[in-house]
Amino acid sequence: MPIIRPLPPELINQIAAGEVIERPASVVKELAENSLDAGAQRIDIEIEQGGMRLIRVRDDGGGIAAEELPLALAAHATSKIASFDDLTRVASMGFRGEALASIASVSRLSLTSRRASDAHGMQIEGGALRPAASPIGTTIEVRDLFHAVPARRKFLRAERTEFGHIDELVRSLALARPGVEFRLIHNGKPVRLLKPAASGGEQLQRAGELLGATFAEHCLRIEHAAAGLSLTGWIGLPTASRAQADQQYFHVNGRLVRDKSVAHAVRQAYADVLYHGRHPAFVLFLELDPTAVDVNVHPAKREVRFRDARLVHDFMYHALHDAVANTRAGAMVPAAYAAGVDPGIAQGERDIVPQAMSRQFGLGVREAAGDPYAALLGEQGARAAPVRLPDDVEAGAPPPLGYALAQLAGIYILAENSQGLVLVDMHAAHERVTYEKLKAARDANQVRSQHLLVPEVIAVSEREAAAAEEYATTLAAYGLELDRSGPRQVTARRIPALLDGADASQLARDVLAELAEHGNSRRLEELQNELLSTMACHGSVRAHRRLTLPEMNALLREMEATERSGQCNHGRPTWTQLSIGELDKLFLRGR
Ligand code: ADP
Ligand code: MG
């Protein structure tokens, strides 16, 4: 017969430690979070041998009363909640009252603390209390972690790896709490010194220190509030996406968490401007009423549960989607992407260029029929302003992307604006503009189509012909009329007016190939924007087409007016700015 008996307290604590204290970095997390809960303005973290020998965390927080020191180390003893009601509105990092007891059960722990009102500090170690010299605040030393738990010790990696985890943890805490100073020392050497950041600019600078200059220079500020939710922070521009989802910091009431539905909202918001497999970088802070989120769902508190997950998802999606939509070319200074250009330009120079929308500037109407570009110009021409070239424009702020100077290698438009030189990838830019127009027209159910003078008979595969039949209504909504006219044949009768001049049979083949291949396996909605993107590609000005200056200026104006035009459908930039400062650097010219 098995004998049931209560576990001794030490063993209970060791079991709890098994859940939460995985490695030295977990200890640092628990201790630093306690410091934050104690209102610390400065947290010093000293590490020896990757934390396996020593972890010392000192803070300048409120401290602990001498008589409560033994309780701080007791299991299930906490100052942070007292009732179930409190548990439903946790605003602190901790609330389980387990961390110190667990850590103490797998290491040699000493706790020294002194409140502002105390004459001196007190220390507790191995159950013994004694007076000790101490600054105001709390110091916890953890030595020989896992010394008595060989199974855990065995799983620890090299000193450098363990310290790497600690460093990553400290960086994430510093991101989460920009107002707190952090110092990190390893084996006596200072590794990080993060000064408190007060203003938004300083916070962004700190984010840059922690995530790299690329992020700080290629991100958008997010500030959004609605329905009791508030979202602030920065999201990376699509053009600064990453191969890994390694720079995604999402905080809920100051706590770094992972959340599937939020990750989904982010992916959706970027869906249109990123390649599959690319990941945006972001540092976001969601603040909401603590009663609207349950933090008691994960032992290490890496996850939370929202009471209204749908609301949070949609709120996040809209905030980010709107920000991404605003990545109009010229609405901000984009990536200094051009090879060899040092992106380290002074912040001031990158500030938002005033959004002088410039539809008033004239557009040349190109007569050339059968040229995809004519559609773009034709539409503009219909809005008809007289042609005015840069020379006869009255004094006033030039448009953000400036005026075209020349075409380079049949690929790039070279323009001049108030910052210096602008370079535009004309195919990528035109494709994006066409894509956004098609999308807007589709969403408004207003894709205008036009009859082909001579219907085109196109040979396709049987599956493609079947797709033309099956998806006829969808295709019609896109302005495409493709009739199945044989087992392996369709006839194109209408194409979208926006794509006037495109090669109808090539367009039909590509669209049908896509439908035949993915139509069954994926939801049509998901496929729709890809269809548009395929279509946009056909409608776009091809490389090596000579453009006149008015045509180039027309494209620049279109870009300024088009949402998300700062990058192509795959997240590559459509344009870049070479500021006068950068040009000066190229020529070693000081000013
Ligand atoms: P929890 O954080 O869940 O309350 P812990 O075991 O981490 O549990 O800490 C137990 C208690 O010890 C805390 O509730 C707090 O009152 C006190 N404490 C721990 N660390 C500090 C600190 N750095 N400064 C002030 N009080 C602390
Ligand atoms: Mg704690």
Per the listing, tokens 């920065």 go with 234
Ligand 2 center–CA 263 separation, angstroms: 27
Ligand 2 center–CA 37 separation, angstroms: 8
Q: Which ligand is nearest to the CA of 101?
A: 1
Which residue(s) pair with 573 in the sheet? 567
- The reported pLDDT for the residue numbered 361 is 26
Residue 339 has pLDDT above 50, yes or no: no
User: Does 44 sit in the ligand 1 pocket, CB within 6 Å?
Assistant: no
User: Does 32 sit in the ligand 1 pocket, CB within 6 Å?
Assistant: no
Mean pLDDT of 4-9: 92
Local confidence band at 240 (pLDDT 50, 70, 90 cut-offs)? confident
Task: Give the Cα separation of 47 and 54 in Å (integer).
Answer: 6
Mean pLDDT of 212-240: 90
Task: Give the Cα separation of 571 and 350 in Å (integer).
Answer: 20
- The reported pLDDT for the residue numbered 380 is 36
User: Does 80 sit in the ligand 1 pocket, CB within 6 Å?
Assistant: yes
- The reported pLDDT for the residue numbered 331 is 63
Decide if 147 contacts 108 (C-beta within 8 A).
yes
User: What architecture does CATH give domain 9-194?
Assistant: 2-Layer Sandwich (3.30)
Task: Give the Cα separation of 203 and 175 in Å (integer).
Answer: 8
User: Does 400 sit in the ligand 1 pocket, CB within 6 Å?
Assistant: no
User: Does 94 sit in the ligand 1 pocket, CB within 6 Å?
Assistant: yes
pLDDT digits (tens, 9 = 90+) for 403-422: 999 999 888 999 999 989 99
Ligand 1 center–CA 82 separation, angstroms: 14
Q: Which ligand is nearest to the CA of 96?
A: 1
- The reported pLDDT for the residue numbered 487 is 92
- The reported pLDDT for the residue numbered 49 is 96
Task: Give the Cα separation of 296 and 294 in Å (integer).
Answer: 6
Mean pLDDT of 364-379: 36
What residues contact 507, with CB distance under 8 A and at least 6 apart?
Answer: 480, 492, 495, 499, 534, 535, 538
For atom 16 of ligand 1, the residue with the nearest CA is 79
- 270: region left, alpha or beta (phi > 0 left; psi from -120 to 50 alpha): alpha
Residue 294 has pLDDT above 70, yes or no: yes
- The reported pLDDT for the residue numbered 272 is 80
Task: Give the Cα separation of 53 and 578 in Å (integer).
Answer: 51
Ligand 2 center–CA 388 separation, angstroms: 68
Local confidence band at 398 (pLDDT 50, 70, 90 cut-offs)? confident
Task: Give the Cα separation of 122 and 115 in Å (integer).
Answer: 10
Residue 108 has pLDDT above 70, yes or no: yes
What residues contact 175, with CB distance under 8 A and at least 6 apart?
Answer: 206, 207, 210, 211, 249, 256, 283
Overall residue count recorded for the chain in this entry: 591
pLDDT digits (tens, 9 = 90+) for 132-177: 999 999 999 999 999 878 878 787 888 999 999 999 999 999 999 9
User: Does 104 sit in the ligand 1 pocket, CB within 6 Å?
Assistant: no
Lowest mean pLDDT: which of 80-84, 328-332, 495-499, 575-579? Answer: 328-332
Mean pLDDT of 439-452: 85
335-591 under CATH 3.30.1540.20, yes or no = yes
Ligand 1 center–CA 78 separation, angstroms: 6
For 200-325, give the CATH class.
alpha beta
Task: Give the Cα separation of 213 and 219 in Å (integer).
Answer: 10
Per the listing, tokens 């053009």 go with 239
User: Does 38 sit in the ligand 1 pocket, CB within 6 Å?
Assistant: yes
Local confidence band at 325 (pLDDT 50, 70, 90 cut-offs)? confident
Decide if 550 contacts 310 (C-beta within 8 A).
no
Ligand 2 center–CA 396 separation, angstroms: 59
- The reported pLDDT for the residue numbered 591 is 63
Domain boundaries, the chain: 9-194, 200-325, 335-591
Q: Which ligand is nearest to the CA of 57?
A: 1
Helices and strands in the chain, H and E counts: 20, 22
Q: Is 67 exposed, middle or buried (0-12, 13-18, 19+ CB in 10 A)?
A: exposed
For atom 17 of ligand 1, the residue with the nearest CA is 72
Mutation to probe ligand 1, out of 100, 109, 124 (largest number of atoms < 8 A from CB): 100
Lowest mean pLDDT: which of 205-214, 381-390, 468-477? Answer: 381-390
User: Does 42 sit in the ligand 1 pocket, CB within 6 Å?
Assistant: no
Q: Percentage of the chain with pLDDT > 70?
A: 86
Mean pLDDT of 256-275: 88
- The reported pLDDT for the residue numbered 352 is 27
Helical (H) or strand (E) element with 319: helix 309-325
Q: What is the pTM of this model?
A: 0.72
Local confidence band at 521 (pLDDT 50, 70, 90 cut-offs)? low
Residue 259 has pLDDT above 70, yes or no: yes
Mean pLDDT of 374-392: 36
92-95 long-range contacts (CB < 8 A, ≥24 apart) are 92/37, 93/33, 93/34, 93/36, 93/37, 93/254, 93/255, 93/301, 94/30, 94/33, 94/34, 94/37, 95/295, 95/296
Task: Give the Cα separation of 232 and 224 in Å (integer).
Answer: 6
Decide if 333 contacts 349 (C-beta within 8 A).
yes
- The reported pLDDT for the residue numbered 382 is 29
Task: Tell me if 200-325 shares its fold with 335-591.
Answer: no
Cα 363 to the center of its chain, rounded Å: 37
- The reported pLDDT for the residue numbered 355 is 23
- 221: region left, alpha or beta (phi > 0 left; psi from -120 to 50 alpha): beta
Which residue(s) pair with 223 in the sheet? 232
User: Does 59 sit in the ligand 1 pocket, CB within 6 Å?
Assistant: yes
- The reported pLDDT for the residue numbered 524 is 61
DSSP secondary structure letters along 288-309: --GGGEE-TTSTT----EETTH
Lowest mean pLDDT: which of 128-132, 453-457, 501-505? Answer: 501-505
CA dihedral of 193, 195, 201, 206, whole degrees rounded to 10: 30
Local confidence band at 346 (pLDDT 50, 70, 90 cut-offs)? very low
For atom 20 of ligand 1, the residue with the nearest CA is 34
Mean pLDDT of 556-577: 87
Mean pLDDT of 73-85: 93
Q: Percentage of the chain with pLDDT > 90?
A: 50
For atom 19 of ligand 1, the residue with the nearest CA is 34
| For the ranges 127-131, 398-402, 515-519, the one whose mean pLDDT is highest | 127-131
Ligand 1 atom at minimal distance to the Cα of residue 95: 3
What residues contact 319, with CB distance under 8 A and at least 6 apart?
Answer: 222, 224, 231
- Of residues 142 and 213, more confidence is placed in 142
- The reported pLDDT for the residue numbered 378 is 36
Ligand 1 center–CA 249 separation, angstroms: 25
Closest by CA position to 220, among listed 356, 115, 325: 325
3-state secondary structure 456-504: EEEECCHHHHHHHHHCHHHHHHCCCEEEEEECCEEEEEEEEHHHCCCCH
- The reported pLDDT for the residue numbered 520 is 60
- The reported pLDDT for the residue numbered 166 is 97
Ligand 1 atom at minimal distance to the Cα of residue 77: 10
**Cα distance from N-terminal residue to C-terminal residue, the chain:** 89
Ligand 1 center–CA 194 separation, angstroms: 24
- The reported pLDDT for the residue numbered 176 is 94
Ligand 1 atom at minimal distance to the Cα of residue 35: 23
Task: Give the Cα separation of 145 and 554 in Å (integer).
Answer: 67
- The reported pLDDT for the residue numbered 502 is 79
Ligand 2 ion: residues within 5 Å (CB): 34, 94, 99
Local confidence band at 395 (pLDDT 50, 70, 90 cut-offs)? low
